Amino acid sequence: MKKLLKTLTETFSPSGYEDAIREVIRKEIKPLADEIRVDALGNLIVRKGKGGKRIMVAAHMDEIGIIASHVDDNGFVRFEGVGGVMSRHLIGGRVRFINGTVGVIGSQRGKENSMEDMFIDVGATSKKDCPVKAGDIAAFERPFTDMGSRWVAKSMDDRIGVLVAIEALRALKSTPNEVYFVFTTQEEIGTRGATTSAFEINPDIGIAIDVTISADTPQAMKMDVGLGKGPAIKIKDSGMISDPRVVQWMEKTAEKAKIPYQREVLGGGTTDARSIQMARAGVPVGCISIPCRYVHSPSEMVDENDVKNSVKLLTLLLKTESKNFGSL
């Protein structure tokens, strides 16, 4: 699992440029799927099973990044964020552009907190010899690090969700339901891939797999979520309220299997579940969140046991017989 996660997190695919990560995922899931297709927005849609409830499982494969907006006469690149890039994490960091160019993020002295005052140094001496031009896109350059039971990488949001979906598909030898694993595009800039794929699939139930804030560091925000305490079952975030029936289904499934879990109420941010919920005439949705420290930084941290338990929970949910869905 760690080897695959290393490959997933070290693959550069910011929002709108998901080709590389899609091919990594496609290669991994090809032997496991009943059907594979790619839609017009680049979502990778994988079907397993036929009949029962039509369940959509969404894990976004894009990552936050930056885009070059201007190159000055001395070859320094000005930029903007793609997705929720936080300027406090940038100074001294490295980025890699899609064309392979690596750059270091610097800032004007005394103005370290504003992205407008930052620049990327790619080693150029003039605009003419700069290998980057306006419109070129990049992602953070940071290797996967194994810290024992804690794993650290850039783009853990949401390559860890991708990993959970892949491992659940691997464990799902059969299912009484028609399950669509959707590896979505452009989540970081507005859950766009989930919007189009949910419209096409028209699911009975939607489940997003994403990260959430782990509030167990010094002076962290007040949340009942911490690393190593199990997957978080989302109750609410700033973009959606989970269907209470889906929450109850998730909790009962976890309790029956003795899987530790947490209840998540997130004050800011949302997931693909928001778009799935509003597809067509509406879809009951929920979200399994993997607790993550330092979200939207180049060094996002998760706990191995939370990941394994998320796989177990998702797999059991997808094995649910029709008679056990209650009013869903």
Residues with catalytic function = 187
Is 33 within 8 Å of 47 (Cβ atoms)? yes
For CA atoms 226, 272, 253, 259, the dihedral sign is negative
Closest CA to 198 of 270, 268, 281: 281
Q: Which residues of 28-66 are buried (b: 16+ CB within 10 A; e: fewer)?
A: bbeebbeeeeebebbbbbbbbbeebbbbbbbbbbbbbbb
Which residue type is seen at 205?
A: I
Q: Burial level of 164, CB count in 10 A (0-12/13-18/19+)?
A: buried
Which residue type is seen at 65?
A: G
CA distance 64 to 189: 8
* C-alpha separations of 144 from 86, 105, 140, 153, 249 in Å: 20, 20, 12, 5, 34
Cβ neighbours of 2 (radius 10 Å): 12
Distance of alpha carbon 5 from the chain centroid: 13
CA distance 305 to 60: 21
CA distance 10 to 306: 21
CA distance 36 to 221: 40
- Strand bridging mode 102-107 / 94-97: antiparallel
